[in-house]
Amino acid sequence: MEPDLLEWFRVDRSRATRRFLWLGGGLVFTGAGLVGAAFLTHEARSALHVIALPGAAMIVSGLAMTISGLVSILARDEYLAVRADGLLFHGAEEDEVHAWPDIDRVAYDADAATWSVRRVDGTTRVVTVGYTASPRALAEHLEQLRSKAKLGELDEAFVRRVAIGLPHKTPD
């Protein structure tokens, strides 16, 4: 049985998505402009084809590039899952699980703008991939969850409170 999932964070692919959308949209927009200009001119049919065919090719290539690029971005299923038993880094090639008792500290490095998971055995996993949360906020949040797990507060009641959206901060 899979452990309870508390929350998850996707790898931020917004920059690559915008790049495909801008390039593909630019090609479609330019190609449509060429096709429209070709039909608005009253030149010979040969001139019409010289202008319209590259425009149509730009439209088709822009659509194909955008769709194939977005499919390739969506095919890369990478995320960080915060589970009741620890952290799961789901990568393209393999999964890496860090159990809460094995995690010594989750820290943010302001100089490198990265965060890391330091294990009890001394190994460290530095996270350079950007998730859908800021690195500082994510590191602080995971450190709070790690300390809750250390105190035994990540129980079924906590998981249920998180699942239905109730506040889950413990009183001081």
Average model confidence (pLDDT) across the chain: 83
Residue 172 has pLDDT above 50, yes or no: no
Q: Return all residues near 157 (Cβ < 8 A) that are at least 6 apart.
A: none
Which helix (DSSP H) or strand (DSSP E) does residue 108 occupy? Answer: strand 103-109
pLDDT at 167: 53
- Residue 65's beta-bridge partner residues? none
| 93 CB-near residues (< 8 Å, 6+ apart) | none
Sheet holding 124-127, edge to edge: 103-109, 114-119, 124-127
- 110-168 confidence digits (pLDDT tens): 888 888 899 999 888 888 778 877 888 888 888 888 888 888 777 656 666 655 555 55
Distance CA 77, CA 13 (A): 11
Cα radius of gyration (the chain) = 25
d(CA 13, CA 131): 9
- 24 CB burial (10 A radius; 0-12, 13-18, 19+): buried
Does residue 25 register a pLDDT over 90? yes
Q: What is the pLDDT averaged over residues 18-23?
A: 94
